[in-house]
Amino acid sequence: MTDIFEVPIPDTDLLDKAENLRLASIKTCQTNNNERIRALCLMADSLEENSKEIIDANIQDYEKAKNKGISKALLSRLKLSKEKLNLGIEGVRKVGDLSDPIGQIQIKKELSRGLILERKTVPIGVLGVIFESRPDAVMQISSLAIRSGNGVMLKGGSEANLTNLAIVSALKKGLQKSNLDEKAICLLTTRKDSMAMLKLEKYINLIIPRGSNELVKFIQENTRIPVLGHADGICHLYIDNELNLDHALKVALDSKIQYPAACNAIETLLIHKDIAPNFLKKAIPIFNANNVKLVGDEKSVQLGVAFEANYKDWQTEYLDLILSIKIVDHLEEAIAHIQKFSSKHTDGIITTNINNANKFMSEIDSAGVFHNCSTRFADGFRYGFGAEVGISTQALPPRGPVGLEGLVTYKYFLRGEGHIVDDFSLGKSIYTHKDL
Amino acid sequence: MTDIFEVPIPDTDLLDKAENLRLASIKTCQTNNNERIRALCLMADSLEENSKEIIDANIQDYEKAKNKGISKALLSRLKLSKEKLNLGIEGVRKVGDLSDPIGQIQIKKELSRGLILERKTVPIGVLGVIFESRPDAVMQISSLAIRSGNGVMLKGGSEANLTNLAIVSALKKGLQKSNLDEKAICLLTTRKDSMAMLKLEKYINLIIPRGSNELVKFIQENTRIPVLGHADGICHLYIDNELNLDHALKVALDSKIQYPAACNAIETLLIHKDIAPNFLKKAIPIFNANNVKLVGDEKSVQLGVAFEANYKDWQTEYLDLILSIKIVDHLEEAIAHIQKFSSKHTDGIITTNINNANKFMSEIDSAGVFHNCSTRFADGFRYGFGAEVGISTQALPPRGPVGLEGLVTYKYFLRGEGHIVDDFSLGKSIYTHKDL
């Protein structure tokens, strides 16, 4: 995998594609809500009409990958059954049901008589999305991009190349029947091109990587284009000494095992020393019964945790059924640990003491701070956004689970009647600054 | 000036300062509106009490700079008269009058019974601000940072070191009497430290450079911390063939000469070929009378523009009384030129044809798109934001003139009663997703 980690100079062919995409995205920017909804319907229809070609292409990809000896997990993600395809097509139609993120008026005011300022949401322009082998992602990402009026340059896993080509070909056929330019969707198929994408800062306005931590980190460090996403998801749960023990046990278990490979699963459990003996007496058998390997600090090992943790454990996103445990003297120690090791994704507290909860939620500067519930809720669909393009752990917006709203920006529109600044400097005109 | 353009490794002393600042900023995050308003009052009071020390320090800085042979323009910006200081103090009090940007509820909804999601604005954390010699900027930036609950690391021009130290000392004395930690403001005095700041990504969440294009560009390219700002301000005005000629003339003049060193002044005037003879016949004498040097393409030279422009002119931010002029065949050519050369700050159109205006404002993806008014209105105060921390030309928010709102981010707060995701997977619980 290391050869993907080079950034070649974009060649003429890629630059041409990027320029065509940019021009198509300018047209896409200007479509109205109905045109974009209609385009999504036509894209979905076209996927249905071409489903045989797509499934056939996927069978070829699958056989090739199988012969190459690709892992079972990857094979199962690569496989696009008729059911999975239908769900994907249904997903494209559902994106049409989401409310229009474009043209929302955020500010409207009179600066002076006849001089009107508006701030309205507009598409970002061109998105660059690099994702893994799941071919259904092509449908989801393309439909979110079109819904929000953006162009999109896509690069999926090479194992799924034929499937992705068949899907994009169908999507483009749909777009051809719409008012949108089919060039608004552009699929890259070589690893070289996908890395050269990082240099296309004149054409691409936002990169969304959906892949391994290693890949995301590499992208963040090797492009001047803004990157929406997170590398690590080191989430914590702190068990306070004032608590409902049943809540603590079930939330801790759910936060770890409900889907351990997810970024919002916890890696470290912090436990107040006063409750630790009682909590661990009940928790250890439950974790054992669920095949969770526990590694802990000295104090927790004394209370029955099987393995000793080292410093690296506090920095590790296991993405697996492993949980590190630390006993703390007080809330402040838990907060200090989280401030040091959290990747600012999601951190939670279990307590019945509302002051402790508020202090925790105020002092921890992660994108999500949770009280008495599982960290696994940190997700765009669970938040009711209808779609999730990624989760950002950056300090600035958009952060946390990002829905369609993360694919738009805004622009200031100022309309006058020959207004000039000098008239205001000279006192001939005055600012009214009235909200409209 | 080239020796500022190196990024040294932060030394222990700087790292200590940064860590103290980070801790102080966590406390600042948690203050309420009244506490922050009171802190601003105390800061202003303390500036008044220490105004003699501040003025004396400024006299020393001024004498030193004068002996060094610093330019008159810089000297006049360095000079802090009693009147300028009083205006600065008044400014600190006025920042207190701006509405609280913190704690605004952006989203509040029930995800399921008893599981409540809130998205609220919170301070970003720590701001790093690198600015030029104007010592009044210290007061302005510090008060904006405190108003928005952030800590701030400041580095001003070294010519103003004594003045800046005296001002920051007074501000800290004020903070000591408040509930806020005086360490929330940290002044750096060496060039080495200010460049090492770029490496403090663990401590600083946003860098705001206020200086030369060269400095801003260097910072953008040499830090992984998000940068709020713009390097170039290459703004355009397009004169359409359907127009009010008087409006066109006065807006073009104001956009160029009202303050030519500003980033929102125009550098290039694009003129529709049909109106060009008529427009230039009137405009050339006006520009000449105002000492504006005109450089133009071949066609405009034929119509009387004195100097011929070369390719570089379209890429140059003159910041001076120079204007490049190009005759275009139609609106589309003007749009294409702007898309190619604009720095995406502010671009305007003069036309009485509303369709042309809409097409222009929709296809140009600059932070500000203006119709029949001067580009010089692109400014936080003129927009009525009460304060401006900078102007961003990036595609993602915050863009355009940024007020206090640009100094906050948001965080998701989720509160439950022992809710776990598995119950929803198993169908035991359901999502309600009700707005509250």
Residue ending a domain, choose from B354, B377, B400: B377
Mean pLDDT for the stretch of residues A106-124: 97
Q: Which of B39, B140, B37 is nearest to B80 (CA)?
A: B140
> What local confidence, expressed as pLDDT, does residue A224 receive?
86
- Per-residue pLDDT for B111 more than 80? yes
Q: Does A378 touch chain B (CB under 8 A)?
A: yes
Whether residue B240 sits in one domain with residue B181: no
- Residue B396 dihedral angles phi and psi, to the nearest 5°: -90, 155
Strands of B166-221, DSSP E: 185-188, 206-210
Residue among A203, A421, A436 with most chain B CBs within 10 A, to mutate: A421
Distance from CA of A304 to the nearest CA of B (A): 25
Residue among B290, B338, B421, B432 with most chain A CBs within 10 A, to mutate: B421
Q: Does the distance separating the beta carbons of B221 and A224 come in below 8 Å?
A: yes
Q: Does B174 touch chain A (CB under 8 A)?
A: no
Q: Does the distance separating the beta carbons of B226 and A367 come in below 8 Å?
A: no
Q: Please answer whether residues A156 and A210 qualify as being in contact, where contact means their C-beta atoms are separated by less than 8 angstroms.
A: no
Q: Does A396 touch chain B (CB under 8 A)?
A: yes
- Per-residue pLDDT for A176 more than 50? yes
> What local confidence, expressed as pLDDT, does residue A157 receive?
87
Whether residue B241 sits in one domain with residue B152: no
Q: Does the distance separating the beta carbons of B433 and A362 come in below 8 Å?
A: no
Whether residue B341 sits in one domain with residue B212: no
Q: Does B121 touch chain A (CB under 8 A)?
A: no
> What local confidence, expressed as pLDDT, does residue A74 receive?
84
CATH (domain of A164): 3.40.605.10
* Mean pLDDT, all residues of chain B: 94
Query: Residue A10's pLDDT band (boundaries 50, 70, 90)?
Result: very high
**Rounded distance, CA A297 to CA A304, Å?**
11
Residue pLDDT, tens place only, A28-44: 988 999 999 999 999 99
CATH (domain of A326): 3.40.309.10
Whether residue B125 sits in one domain with residue B50: yes
Residues of B in contact with A376 (CB under 8 A): 420-421
Q: Does the distance separating the beta carbons of A373 and B411 come in below 8 Å?
A: no
Query: Residue B5's pLDDT band (boundaries 50, 70, 90)?
Result: low
> What local confidence, expressed as pLDDT, does residue A133 receive?
67
Residue pLDDT, tens place only, B375-413: 999 999 999 998 888 899 989 999 999 989 899 999 999
Q: Does the distance separating the beta carbons of A363 and B29 come in below 8 Å?
A: yes
> What local confidence, expressed as pLDDT, does residue B388 receive?
86
Q: Does the distance separating the beta carbons of B420 and A378 come in below 8 Å?
A: no
Residue pLDDT, tens place only, A356-396: 999 999 999 999 999 999 999 999 999 999 888 889 998 99
Say whether A327 sits in a helix, a strand or coil. Answer: strand
| Residue A403 included in any domain | no
Q: Please answer whether residues B410 and A397 qualify as being in contact, where contact means their C-beta atoms are separated by less than 8 angstroms.
A: yes
Q: Is the ipTM of this complex over 0.90?
A: yes
Q: What is the 3-state secondary structure (H, E, C) of chain B?
A: CHHHCCCCCCCHHHHHHHHHHHHHHHHHHCCCHHHHHHHHHHHHHHHHHCHHHHHHHHHHHHHHHHHCCCCHHHHHHHCCCHHHHHHHHHHHHHHHHCCCCCCCEEEEEEEECCEEEEEEEEECCEEEEEECCCCHHHHHHHHHHHHCCCEEEEECCHHHHHHHHHHHHHHHHHHHCCCCCHHHEEEECCHHHHHHHHHCCCCCCEEEEECCHHHHHHHHHCCCCCECCCCCCCEEEEECCCCCHHHHHHHHHHHHHCCCCCCCCEEEEEEECCCHHHHHHHHHHHHHHCCCEEEECHHHHHCCCCEECCHHHHHCCCCCCEEEEEEECCHHHHHHHHHHHCCCCEEEEECCCHHHHHHHHHHCCCCEEEEEECHHHCCCCCCCCCCCCEEECCCCCCCEEECHHHHEEEEEEEEEEEECHHHHHCCCCCCCCEEC
Q: Does B91 touch chain A (CB under 8 A)?
A: no
Residue pLDDT, tens place only, B224-264: 899 988 778 899 999 999 999 999 999 999 999 999 988 99
- Per-residue pLDDT for B315 more than 60? yes
Whether residue B170 sits in one domain with residue B142: yes
- Per-residue pLDDT for B118 more than 70? yes
Query: Residue B196's pLDDT band (boundaries 50, 70, 90)?
Result: very high
Distance from CA of A245 to the nearest CA of B (A): 10
Secondary element (H or E) of residue A20: helix A12-29
- Per-residue pLDDT for B154 more than 60? yes
Total number of domains constituting chain B: 2
Q: Does the distance separating the beta carbons of A410 and B397 come in below 8 Å?
A: yes
Distance from CA of A54 to the nearest CA of B (A): 30
Residue pLDDT, tens place only, B291-303: 999 999 999 999 9
Provide the chain B residues 36-55 that lie in CB contact (below 8 A) with chain A. Answer: none
Whether residue B18 sits in one domain with residue B156: yes
Whether residue B129 sits in one domain with residue B273: no
CA-based nearest residue in chain B for residue A402:
B412
User: Which of B224, B372, B383 is facing A416, going by the closest CB pair?
Assistant: B372
Domain containing residue A369: 235-377
User: Which of B365, B369, B377 is facing A125, going by the closest CB pair?
Assistant: B365
| Residue A394 included in any domain | no
**Rounded distance, CA A301 to CA A296, Å?**
6
| Residue A90 included in any domain | yes
Distance from CA of B53 to the nearest CA of A (A): 33
| Residue A110 included in any domain | yes
Q: Report the percentage of chain B scoring pLDDT > 70.
A: 99
- Per-residue pLDDT for A219 more than 60? yes
> What local confidence, expressed as pLDDT, does residue A1 receive?
40
Whether residue B239 sits in one domain with residue B217: no
| Cα A305–chain centre separation | 34
CA-based nearest residue in chain B for residue A383:
B111
Mean pLDDT for the stretch of residues A388-407: 91
Mean pLDDT for the stretch of residues B74-84: 91
Whether residue B193 sits in one domain with residue B164: yes
Distance from CA of A166 to the nearest CA of B (A): 32
Phi-psi map region of B400: left, alpha, beta (phi>0 left; psi -120 to 50 alpha): left
Amino acid letter for position A115? L
Residue ending a domain, choose from A357, A377, A397: A377
> What local confidence, expressed as pLDDT, does residue B2 receive?
42
Residue ending a domain, choose from A180, A197, A221: A221
Whether residue B149 sits in one domain with residue B182: yes
| Cα B421–chain centre separation | 43
- Per-residue pLDDT for B425 more than 80? yes
- Per-residue pLDDT for A198 more than 80? yes
| Residue A230 included in any domain | no
CA-based nearest residue in chain A for residue B258:
A422
Instruction: Name the more confident of B347 and B319.
Output: B347
Expressed in angstroms, the distance from the first to the final Cα of chain A is: 56
Mean pLDDT for the stretch of residues B63-78: 89
Instruction: Name the more confident of B389 and A333.
Output: A333
| Residue A195 included in any domain | yes
Mean pLDDT for the stretch of residues A220-242: 90
- Per-residue pLDDT for B222 more than 90? no
| Residue A137 included in any domain | yes
| Residue A408 included in any domain | no
Whether residue A283 sits in one domain with residue A210: no
> What local confidence, expressed as pLDDT, does residue A214 receive?
83
Model confidence, pTM: 0.91
- Per-residue pLDDT for B79 more than 80? yes
Whether residue B199 sits in one domain with residue B84: yes
